[in-house]
Amino acid sequence: MKFKLVTVFGLALFLLLAQFAIVSAEDGNQLFLQGLKEYYLGAYSKAIISFDKVLDWNNDHVDALYYQTLSYIELNNVTKARENISQLEALGYQFGLIHWKLGTIYLNKEGQFDSPFYNEAKKELEKAHELGINSPQFHSDLAMAYQGLGDLKKAAREYGKALSKGGEIGDYINLAALYKETGQLDKAINTYKQALNLNPDNTSIYLNLGNIYLQKGNYDSAIEVLKEGVALDPSFVAIRSKLATAYYEKGNFEKAKEQFNKVIKQNNNIYEAYYYLGEIYYNVENNVQKAIYYYNEATKKNPDYVKAYIALGNIYINQDNTYKAIAQYTTAIEKNQNYPDGHYHLAVAYHKLGMKEAAVAELRKTLHLNPDYQAARDLLSELTKE
């Protein structure tokens, strides 16, 4: 009788514990669904707490670990995310999406760190690719990592993959910028044009195209594309300033002067506009007083703009006011000791005063900074023969 009583009691206890186990499983599943809902609503901190409760019930719940890891990543908690990744790997699971999202965190797109961690981003993104991630945005992110590490060839390849899979206009712009950086100017032009076909209202593309045409010395094309940009957004000072520069380089000084004056009217702190107006007044219109005024204004707007000091020095040396010229050249060198023109013109001024040793010293400094500075080499050769 005693044996039967114990058996019955033991059976009842087993059934009671089993019932609690079933309830616990149901509660665990409910908690997981609650955490999933919180994750998709963007309540990542709440989702983490819910998934923690699930993991208290079942430490190896893969889905809870997966979504909790994504929640940590959304909150930029890299340390906790990595702990979960290690646990998932110990269970035999790796997920490309997790490595992709972690890689984008290291890219620092949202400025959550002081600077990007391109090496870490590259490792995570390459791992994501091994695990099957292959979308246009993924290739764009991987390109950004390569670009940050200076591997421009791989970066260009990844931007190309992004575009082949239907990438966005930003991929065209980034790829074009890479082509420009590597000196492939024609490819850069073609890629910017493709970007314009997708978004003809993007004024920055007109500016970038204009810069490349200026770099190539194709002033007519630069003027054409920059005029389109100005027409699209007349308030965009940078485009108007480049248009004025294109007119200046083309030799159309009246239109250059007109545009530079408009630039100053829009923003009177654009120091290069004052400098170029000084150049026009001095070299084209022979109006020395106006030239001096505009060069001085350039130095007021940017006290470190050495070209304006040198231009002022050239005016004074042509007026036989050599000591005043030396003051300007010396200021230019004080502002930028690595600018060869400052040393060369100071050498010329010293030579004019018969200060041979000082002139030779400045010419040697010029050639140290720019070995191809032919005028400096010629003058040095002349002085050292004497």
Per-residue confidence at 181, pLDDT binned at 50, 70, 90? confident
Q: What is the pLDDT of residue 8?
A: 44
Domain C-terminal end among 75, 93, 111: 93
Q: What is the pLDDT of residue 24?
A: 60
**326 and 349 in contact (C-beta within 8 Å)?**
yes
Q: Judge if 279 and 334 occupy the same domain.
A: no
Mean of all residue pLDDT scores within the chain: 91
**64 and 32 in contact (C-beta within 8 Å)?**
yes
CA atoms within 13 A of residue 21's CA, in its CB half-sphere: 6
Q: Judge if 330 and 283 occupy the same domain.
A: no
Q: What is the pLDDT of residues 17-52, one digit of tens each?
A: 444 444 366 677 898 999 999 999 999 999 999 999
130 within domain boundaries:
no
Q: Judge if 356 and 273 occupy the same domain.
A: no
The Cα–Cα gap between 216 and 210 comes to 10
Domain C-terminal end among 37, 62, 93: 93
Q: What is the pLDDT of residue 386?
A: 58
39 within domain boundaries:
yes
Considering only 35-44, 148-157, 165-174, which range has the smallest mean pLDDT?
165-174
Is residue 7 predicted with pLDDT exceeding 60? no
Collapsed DSSP state (helix, strand, coil) of residue 76? coil
Q: What is the mean pLDDT of residues 200-226?
A: 96
Is residue 316 predicted with pLDDT exceeding 90? yes
The Cα–Cα gap between 57 and 45 comes to 19
Residue 251 per-residue DSSP state: T
Which backbone phi and psi does 291 adopt, to 5 degrees?
-60, -45
118 within domain boundaries:
no
CA distances in angstroms from 294 to 297, 300, 301, 386, listed in the order given: 5, 10, 10, 40
Q: Give percent of the chain above pLDDT 70.
A: 93
**273 and 305 in contact (C-beta within 8 Å)?**
no
Q: What is the pLDDT of residue 100?
A: 94
16 within domain boundaries:
yes
Q: Judge if 293 and 381 occupy the same domain.
A: no
Q: What is the pLDDT of residue 25?
A: 63
- Find tokens 């004056």 and name the residue: 261
Q: Which domain holds residue 380?
A: 323-386
Domain C-terminal end among 93, 110, 138: 93
Q: What is the pLDDT of residue 111?
A: 87
210 within domain boundaries:
yes
Q: Judge if 1 and 61 occupy the same domain.
A: yes
Domain count of the chain?
Answer: 3
Considering only 72-76, 104-108, 122-126, 160-164, which range has the smallest mean pLDDT?
160-164
Per-residue confidence at 239, pLDDT binned at 50, 70, 90? very high
100 within domain boundaries:
no
Q: Judge if 211 and 285 occupy the same domain.
A: yes
Q: What is the mean pLDDT of residues 284-307?
A: 97
Q: Give percent of the chain above pLDDT 90.
A: 82
The Cα–Cα gap between 98 and 50 comes to 19
Q: Would you call 256 exposed, middle or buried from its count of C-beta atoms within 10 A (0-12, 13-18, 19+)?
A: buried
Q: What is the pLDDT of residue 1?
A: 42
Q: What is the pLDDT of residues 48-78, one digit of tens each?
A: 999 999 999 899 999 999 999 999 999 999 9
Q: What is the pLDDT of residue 28?
A: 77
- Find tokens 């391109």 and name the residue: 118
Is residue 237 predicted with pLDDT exceeding 80? yes
Q: Judge if 46 and 10 occupy the same domain.
A: yes
Q: What is the mean pLDDT of residues 309-313?
A: 97
Higher pLDDT, 168 or 291: 291
CATH of the domain at 379: 1.25.40.10
Highest averaged pLDDT of the listed ranges 140-154, 180-194, 250-264: 250-264
Is residue 374 predicted with pLDDT exceeding 50? yes
Q: What is the pLDDT of residues 244-291, one digit of tens each?
A: 999 999 999 999 999 999 999 999 999 999 999 999 999 999 999 999
80 within domain boundaries:
yes
Question: Which pTM does this prediction carry?
Answer: 0.74
19 within domain boundaries:
yes
Q: What is the pLDDT of residue 123?
A: 96
Q: What is the pLDDT of residues 348-366, one digit of tens each?
A: 999 999 999 999 999 999 9
Is residue 13 predicted with pLDDT exceeding 50? no
Q: Judge if 22 and 81 occupy the same domain.
A: yes
Considering only 170-174, 275-279, 313-317, which range has the smallest mean pLDDT?
170-174
| Helical residues (DSSP H) of 184-234, grouped into ranges | 185-198, 203-216, 219-232
